[in-house]
Amino acid sequence: MRQIGVPHPHLPLPAAGGEDDMAEFLAWLGEAIPMVPSLGIREMRRDGDRLIWSLSLIPSLNDKGTGFGGALAAQTTLLGWCWTTLWLRRHGLARDVVVAQASQRFLAPVTGDYCLTCEPEERDAPAELAERLEQRGKGRIALIQQLWCADTLCLEARGDYAVLPAS
């Protein structure tokens, strides 16, 4: 049972040069952040520099029977945190990540199950993050999230994620 003010233990890093098992990471995430099992995440996968979640709408319904904006905004923010954390882990770093800034633009109602994607805003952003971490021990990356309901783009979000110095 999670307690206020007590950090959750980090998941052990994957073997050198290895990738995280997404199911294992998602299970750990559900323990670390108690609301995660209620988000309706069906699948988490990577496609190149893109992290993708497939989600059920049912847990995020609003009073109108469409997606609740607050839940969708929380999901985009968490997906960016996951992208950054998984990127660090692939590079052998167990570091703390926090969202520094986030914004959302709602374009259409979410009327069914959906897909969330997350990728760097700029193509060279991961290399720049690696350089800043090497030089200064901390850094930031800007990520873009998109929510797709079938072929309709319903939400665009942007977040700046800060990687904190090693403690």
Distance CA 135, CA 77 (A): 27
12 within some domain: no
105 within some domain: yes
How many C-beta atoms surround the C-beta of residue 47 within 10 A? 9
6 within some domain: no
CA distances (Å), 8 to each of 30, 34, 127, in order? 11, 11, 29
Distance CA 127, CA 131 (A): 6
2 within some domain: no
The answer to whether residue 31 scores a pLDDT higher than 80 is yes
pLDDT digits (tens, 9 = 90+) for 41-71: 999 999 999 999 999 999 999 999 999 999 9
Three-state DSSP at 155 gives strand
User: What confidence score (pLDDT) does residue 1 get?
Assistant: 78
**CATH code for the domain in which residue 113 is found:** 3.10.129.10
pLDDT digits (tens, 9 = 90+) for 105-146: 999 999 999 999 999 999 999 999 999 999 999 999 999 999
Whole-number percent of the chain with pLDDT over 90: 92
Answer whether 66's CB lies under 8 Å from 42's CB: no
Average pLDDT, the chain: 95
126 within some domain: yes
State the total domains in the chain: 1
User: What confidence score (pLDDT) does residue 122 get?
Assistant: 97
Buried b / exposed e along 117-141 (16+ C-beta atoms within 10 A):
bbbbeeeebbeebbeebeeeeebeb
Indicate the pTM of the whole model.
0.96
Phi-psi region of 157 (alpha: psi -120 to 50; beta: other; left: phi over 0): beta
Answer whether 36's CB lies under 8 Å from 29's CB: yes
